[in-house]
Amino acid sequence: MAETAQHPEDNADSKTEDTATKETETKETEPTDDLVTTRHTITLDDGELSYTATAGRIVLRQERQTDDKFDGAKARAEVFVTAYTADSESPAARPVTFAFNGGPGSSSVWLHLGLLGPRRVLSGDVGALQPPPYGLTDNAQTLLRHSDLVFIDPVSTGYSRAVHGEKPKEFHGYTADIASVGEVIRLWTSRNGRWMSPKYLCGESYGTTRAAGLARHLQERYGMYLNGVVLISAVLDFGAIIFSGGNDDPYALYLPTYAAIAHYHGKLGDRPLRDVLAAAESYAEHDYPRILSRGARLPADARAAAAARLAELTGLSADYLDRVNLRPEHVRFLTELLRDQRLVVGRIDGRFTGWDTDYGRERWSDDPSMTAITGPYTAALNHYVPAELGYHSDLPYEILNPQVRPWSYAEFENQHVFVLDKLAAAMRANPHLRVHVDCGYYDAATPYFAAEHALAHLDIPAELAANVSFGYYEAGHMMYLHEPSRLAQSERLARFVTSASG
C-alpha cells in the first residue's frame, strides 16, 4: 500500500489551523455581561418617578501574571445585579446605594423586594400572612426617591455563579467575598460615571459584616471613600452572639431580646415594652454578668435569686433556668417559651410562632419566621425579574444557598470574627463617613443589645461619636415585614442618604 509523505510545512499549517480554531472557540465561549435594560414609572405621593432598571450578570475578571509578564484578565465569576437609576438632569449628583443581604449564602431579595426597591412583595405579617401565589405592588416609600440603587447577589446566590472551570468555594469566605463584591461596586461606579456621586452601602445581617469590611477595602484598594454605611440587624462582633464554651457574653446580650419576645407573647403582663426592656438591660449590664462570672463559686441562695429574677425577665420558669445553669441559649429559649401551648417561636422574628412534631425536644426543627416569608419572596422574585425586568435565566435563583457553607473565616483563625476594627479604620481615615444601625427588638438572630455593645467598642475618637446613629423597631430581623416599622424605617433611611455628607 502506498504511503503519502507529509511535509513539515503541511503539518505546521495543520497545527496553525488547529490553534486558530481553539482560540476562536475559547473566544466564543468567553463569558460576557448579559445586562437587560427596561424603563418604568412609579406613582408616589408627590407625583411620578421615572426610572431605568438594569438587570443581569457582570463578569468579574482577575488579572494574571506568568513569569512576571502580564497574562491578561481571566473571567472568574458572573455576578447578578439589579440597578435602578432615576431620571435626572444631573445623575452624578444623586446618591447611589449598594445593597446586599447576608447569610452567608443569601441573595439580596429581602432588601430588594422588602424595603428599598421600587416594587415590593405582599407577604402579609404575623397573624395575617398572604396565601400563595402572593403579589407585588409599587413601593411608594422606595429609597429610589432619594438614591439610585444597586442590588448585588454575591457568588453562588441569586443568579450569580463562578464561571466554567472555576471553583465556587474560592468565593465562599470573608476576604474573597469582600473582594468580589468590592469589584462589582468599582465596575458599576466606573462604567456609569458615578465616582463623583455620594455613595452608600446598605447591608443586612452578615451583610453588615461585609459592609464593615468593604468600607475599609474600598478605601484602601480603590481609593473609594463612602458617605455612609447602613447596618440593618448588625453583627460586627461574633463573640457577642455565638454561644460557646467559656463565652458568657451572649447570655447577657440576648437577655433584653428574650424579654421583648416574652412580653410580646403575653408572658410578662401588661407593662409597657419600654419598661420591660429597661429592666432587662439593667440586669444584663450589671448583675447578670457578675453572676455568670462566679461559676461554681456562686452561693446557692444567690443562684436561686438569679433564677427567680431571670424568670421574671424571660417568662421561663425558675426551675428551667436553674436546670440550664442560668444560661438559656437562644434556640432553646425559643423552643421552651411557648412549650405549654405547643408552639415554637421564630428566631429571625420572635413575633412569629409555628408548630413542631415533638414538644419534648430541646430545639425546634425549623424557624417558623423563615418558613413564613420564604415562599412570598421567592415567588415574587421569580416572577418579577423575567416579567417586569426582562431578564431570563434557566438557572434557579438561589434565595438562600446552604452550599456556601462551610464559609471560610481563615483570617480569624483561633479568634472570633470581629470587624469593628475595619469599620473604625475606615471612619478614622474618612471622618465624613456616617454609620446608621437599625435594630428590631424581636430579632433573636442579631439582638439589638449586642449591636449596641459592639458599637460602644468602636475605636474612634470622641469627635466622631456623632457619626453613629441608631433606629429601633417593634419588629424582628427584617423589620420591614411589620408595616409601621417599614414606613418608619423607609423615612429614616431617606433622611440618612439626603442629609449633609460632610
SS3 46: coil
Element (DSSP H or E) covering residue 229: strand 228-232
Confidence tier at 63 by pLDDT (50, 70, 90): confident
Task: Write down the pLDDT at residue 18.
Answer: 54
* Stretch 400-419: mean pLDDT: 94
Q: pLDDT digits over 200-230, tens only?
A: 999 999 999 999 999 999 999 999 999 999 9
Unique residue bearing C-alpha cell 407573647: 265
How far apart (Å, rounded) are the C-alpha atoms in residues 214 and 315? 40
Q: Is the pLDDT at 466 greater than 70, yes or no?
A: yes
Phi, psi of 11 (to 5 degrees): -65, -40
**Residue 299 CB neighbour total at 10 angstroms:** 9
* Stretch 302-315: mean pLDDT: 98
How far apart (Å, rounded) are the C-alpha atoms in residues 159 and 172? 15
Q: Is the pLDDT at 324 greater than 50, yes or no?
A: yes
Q: pLDDT digits over 66-91, tens only?
A: 777 777 789 999 999 999 999 988 88
Task: Write down the pLDDT at residue 482.
Answer: 97
The x, y and z cell numbers of residue 421, run together, are: 476594627
Task: Write down the pLDDT at residue 322.
Answer: 98
How many CA atoms does the CB half-sphere of 478 hold within 13 Å? 27
How far apart (Å, rounded) are the C-alpha atoms in residues 364 and 294? 31
Confidence tier at 2 by pLDDT (50, 70, 90): very low
Residues in the chain: 502
How far apart (Å, rounded) are the C-alpha atoms in residues 37 and 124? 30
How far apart (Å, rounded) are the C-alpha atoms in residues 407 and 96? 29
Q: Is the pLDDT at 11 greater than 90, yes or no?
A: no
| All domains of the chain in start order, with CATH | 31-239+373-498 (3.40.50.1820), 248-370 (no CATH)
**Residue 500 CB neighbour total at 10 angstroms:** 7
| Percentage of the residues of the chain whose pLDDT score is greater than 90 | 88
Q: pLDDT digits over 255-268, tens only?
A: 999 999 999 999 99
SS3 307: helix
